[in-house]
Amino acid sequence: ETGVTQSPTHLIKTRGQQVTLRCSSQSGHNTVSWYQQALGQGPQFIFQYYREEENGRGNFPPRFSGLQFPNYSSELNVNALELDDSALYLCASSVGNTGELFFGEGSRLTVL
């Protein structure tokens, strides 16, 4: 186990709704990044938070947004859900930007 916890583990939404996913990072890790993994694909970088600010973003539209709190936990918010948003959403914590990521178990989102 990595010490990174995510909630909820599974959820079902309908198109157009909004969703919030939560992540608690491993103790001592001050950086949180979020990835989307579609079925049969590798994870895709959404964004990263450090010191409560977004400091890097992948090719995702603005309806994907996030927060990081003083205790380093984080949220991923997705507005106006689309069918293609159905995926496993992975939170990863780390110390610095070495690329050595410790993933949580993920939140599996299904959009109907």
Considering only 44, 65, 73, 86, the residue that binds other proteins (CB under 8 A) is 44
Closer by beta carbon to other proteins, 66 or else 106 = 106
Closest-CA residue to 103 (of 61, 39, 42): 42
d(CA 73, CA 80): 24
Work out whether 65 is an interface residue with other proteins (CB under 8 A): no
The correct pick among 13, 30, 45, 60 for binding other proteins (CB under 8 A) is: 45
Nearest to 83 by CA among 16, 19, 1, 9: 16
**In the stretch 89-108, what mask flags binding to other proteins with x, by CB under 8 A?**
-x-x-x--xxxxxxxxxx--
**Peptide bond just before 43 cis, omega within 30 deg:** no
76 binds other proteins (CB under 8 A): no
